[in-house]
A and B are shown apart, each in its own frame.
Chain A
Amino acid sequence: MGLTLDFLALSPYVGELARGLVTTVVLTVVTTLSGLMLAIVVAYLRVHAATWVRRILGGYVELTRNTPFIVQLFFIFFGLPALGIKIDAITAAFLAMTLNLAAYTAEILRAGIEATGRGQLEAARTLGMSKFQSYRHVVLVPAFARIYPALTSQCIIVMLGSAVVSQISVFDLTYAANFIQSRNFRSFEAYLLVTLVYLLLAVGMRQLFLLVGRRLFAFRQGGQA
């Protein structure tokens, strides 16, 4: 039997695809921002906090990095309600993605923070910068500049990984594909199209990060390390 593709069979489902795309994009944008913020806090505490805090956060980072995202998602969506914490699917997806991205990013960021010499921070304080100012300008911003390529990749990985949230019935791109193929049985066409959309999203995200990075870290263009 040969392969016959009928992409026109997908045309009645443009609305579903658009709805899925919007969900995937919104989830990605929101979790990228929330994940980054959480990562900064975790990375800061992992470098500077008391030993027991560092241990707990180290446990969180290692547990997250060494278990599949789908299991984390199931644990949050199915497991937490058993403890009396009721959450809906989209909240669970948001929570799982944020915690996942934050764990990876905190680990990347920690290396970036530790690469800053102590002397630089002391120099900034001597120049009259406040504690917050010097930490922000001398440690955090250069750390982000150093890890930016790795950060870009991690955010794209989380976007691609978000396909899994369809399994707890969040109406994302993948869910749209599942929905379509359950109606018209054109599974290959539906998945091929959606895969292409993911690929375009990944390429687009990389370009966007490049653009933003060039603006944010313009000071590094001067050739400093």
Chain B
Amino acid sequence: MIEFTLWDIVRNLLLAARWTIVLSLIAFVGGASLGLLFTVLRLSGNRLLKVMIGVYVDVFQGTPLLMQLFLAYFGAAALGFNVSAWAAASVALTLFTSAFLCDIWRGCLEAVPRGQWHASRVLGMDYLQTMRHVILPQALRLSVPPTVGFSVQVVKGTALASVIGFVELTKAGTMLNNATFAPFTIFALVALIYFALCYPLSRYSRYLERRLYDAGMR
């Protein structure tokens, strides 16, 4: 049997943490793009689209991420596609992220007082002009802190990809545990690495929120 020193464990965990970061980035970038598309479609005024996107958001917010991962992984197989854990995890986390971001951004758009729409109309601006010059600049500022805050949920969410066999930080932890039988050390280290990834994001989100609040906007 190979002997693992503490450094071996730390090194292997850090190497695996790369894949946690890559998967987080894929999910966040993909989810933000898709979420943006849904947010725009929701604003388009089409009733059916609005209802469908509403259901989409409710379904992803009302079911476990673990189930979404299982369905992406085994569902694709049932459809006859042989997908890798990589693909399934990327798709599931992207959809999950898009639903939450879409909901967060809708809230930000709605937070801009309704009166401003009326006022812009009175000033002779059309829908797009109002959106571009009045609503979006304010909604964008409002959206930054919760969006950064949600990125923490994305990073933590990637841990579930371990369950379908994707070797990221958590999976590396369980594998190392099976080889070394040092669960306390290993899972403490795993938690610490997640903390190092997430805590700065949490702090940054809180700082942005505070700054926004101090600027007199809510």
Interface residue ranges, A against B (CB under 8 Å):
1-3, 5, 62-63, 65-72, 74-75, 78-83, 156, 160-164, 166-167, 174, 177, 181, 187-188, 191-192, 194-195, 198-199, 202-203
Query: Using a CB–CB distance below 8 Å, which chain B residues touch chain A?
Result: 59, 61-68, 70-71, 74-75, 77-80, 152, 156-157, 159-160, 162-163, 170, 173-174, 177, 182-184, 186-188, 190-191, 194-195, 198-199, 202
Interface secondary structure of B, over-half rule: helix
**Cβ contact within 8 Å between A78 and B71:** no
A66-B195, A160-B63 known; A177 vs B70 contact (CB < 8 Å): yes
Closest-by-CB residue of A relative to B202 is: A66
Within 8 Å CB of B160, what residues of A? 68, 70, 164
CB distance from A8 to the nearest CB of B (A): 16
Query: CB distance B67 to A71 under 8 Å?
Result: no
Q: Give complex CA distance A192, B160 in Å.
A: 18
Chain B residues, Cβ within 8 Å of A195: 63-64, 67-68, 71
Q: Determine whether the beta carbon of A191 is less than 8 Å from that of B159.
A: no
- Which residues does chain A contribute within 8 Å of B195, judged by CB atoms? 62-63, 66-67
A to B CB contacts below 8 Å, 24 in the list: A3-B80, A65-B202, A66-B198, A68-B156, A68-B160, A70-B160, A74-B170, A74-B183, A74-B190, A75-B187, A75-B188, A79-B188, A160-B65, A161-B64, A164-B66, A174-B64, A174-B67, A187-B74, A187-B78, A188-B78, A192-B75, A195-B68, A198-B63, A202-B62
In the complex, which of the residues B74, B152, B162, B198 contacts A188, with contact meaning CB atoms closer than 8 Å? B74
Q: Is the CB of B184 within 8 A of A160?
A: no
Do the beta carbons of B187 and A71 come within 8 Å of each other?
Answer: yes
CA of A195 to CA of B70 in the docked complex: distance in angstroms?
10
A72: B residues at CB distance < 8 A: 191
- The CA of A63 and the CA of B152, in the complex, are separated in Å by 12
- The docked-state distance in angstroms from the alpha carbon of A78 to that of B182 is 9
Output the nearest chain A residue to B157 by Cβ-Cβ distance. A68
Q: Distance in Å from the Cβ of B176 to the closest Cβ of chain A?
A: 11
Please pick, from A62, A68, A78, the residue contacting B183 in the complex, using a CB distance under 8 A: A78
Residues from chain A with Cβ under 8 Å of B190 in the complex: 71, 74-75
Candidates B65, B77, B80, B173; contact of A74 at CB < 8 Å: B173
A3-B78, A68-B157, A198-B67 given. 20 additional CB < 8 A pairs? A5-B78, A63-B195, A66-B156, A66-B194, A66-B195, A67-B156, A68-B156, A71-B159, A74-B187, A78-B177, A78-B183, A78-B187, A80-B184, A81-B183, A83-B184, A163-B64, A164-B160, A187-B74, A198-B62, A198-B64
